[in-house]
Amino acid sequence: METFSIENAHLKAVFLNYGAILHQLWVKDKFGVLTNVIQGLKHPEDYLEDQWARGAVVGRFAGRLENPIKIQETPLEIEHEKGVLLHSGSSGWHKKFWTPLSQEKKDSITFEYLCPEGSSGFPGSVHAQVTYCLEASSLCIHYRAIPTKTTHINLTNHAYFNLSPAHSLGNQRLKINANYFLELKENLVPTGVKLPLAHTKFDFRKEKELGSIRLDDYFIINPNSNEIAALYAPDTGIKMKTFTDQPGVVVFTPPHFEALCFETQKFSNTPNIPSFPTTLVQAATEYSHQTRFEFSLL
């Protein structure tokens, strides 16, 4: 396993070729102290046994899918456990070694992966690339993927953030620019129904403390708003805004460590719900997706 780093005057990021993992991200707090805002694992080899996809690129389909799925109205059996495929299962890209391309700039790096034909039951192979770059005080992620056959693609990064890593998330303040979230079945797969956030614990339209709230939910971003969320830690003064060109985000707080994921992606179970924004990518055409995490001090 190899490590790679990029840096500029504001940020330093460390990556692994396994899972194209974002291993560390260093930001100065309000006291001028460098702070790693990623809740990763201490040793790179520890990720080989990790069950939480920490910091990794997730594909070829992030989220949950019910078996079978449909591709152009044709049912297709996919890998599943109790009827559900999570983060592409045994073929998930977060469990694969990616190839780093020649690093020509100190503030940017690209990894690529060739996903074989039929992985997780999906048709076609996929040539995928992820580029991480630092632009001023932002970490930008650009995903590209080209399949050889028409297939479904939905990518994300699974980095866990804590802007005050010596403390719990409880007093960190979250805002999400969403009026609706997806109704889920007991197996956490969307039903296809969009529910209003008003008068629910999921209502973060106005910034508020996370407190004891735990989340594993898909928020539908308000139209004409590519700033999807903001997280602020009073202890360190670090604020992080998240921007994306995707229709929404899974916000996830794991049950056993203090961190929060912003999984920018299209809706889970989309191949089975025609009303959702499509995840179908035609053969030999490019899937593209951009997300940016912007840091500032208050």
**pLDDT tens-digit map of 28-72:** 999 999 999 999 999 999 999 999 999 999 999 999 999 999 898
Q: What is the pTM of this model?
A: 0.96
- Confidence (pLDDT) at 165: 94
* Closest to 207 measured CA to CA, from 180, 183, 243, 233: 233
Question: Cβ distance 66 to 51 under 8 Å?
Answer: no
Residue 105 clears pLDDT 90, i.e. is over it: no
What CATH number did the domain enclosing 73 receive? 2.70.98.10
Domain that holds residue 84: 3-297
Looking at residue 63, its amino acid is G
- Confidence (pLDDT) at 70: 87
Structural domains counted in the chain: 1
Question: Which residues are CB-neighbours of 183 under 8 A, at least 6 positions away?
Answer: 190, 191, 192, 193, 194, 195
* Closest to 233 measured CA to CA, from 48, 43, 85, 31: 31
Render pLDDT for 213-261 as a digit per residue (tens, 0 to 9). Answer: 999 999 999 987 778 999 999 999 999 999 999 999 999 999 999 999 9
Looking at residue 191, its amino acid is T
DSSP state of 246: S
- Which stretches does DSSP call E strand in 92-172? 99-100, 108-115, 126-135, 138-147, 151-152, 156-157, 160-161
Q: How many residues are listed for the chain in this entry? A: 298
Question: Which residues are CB-neighbours of 201 under 8 A, at least 6 positions away?
Answer: 213
Residue 181 clears pLDDT 90, i.e. is over it: yes
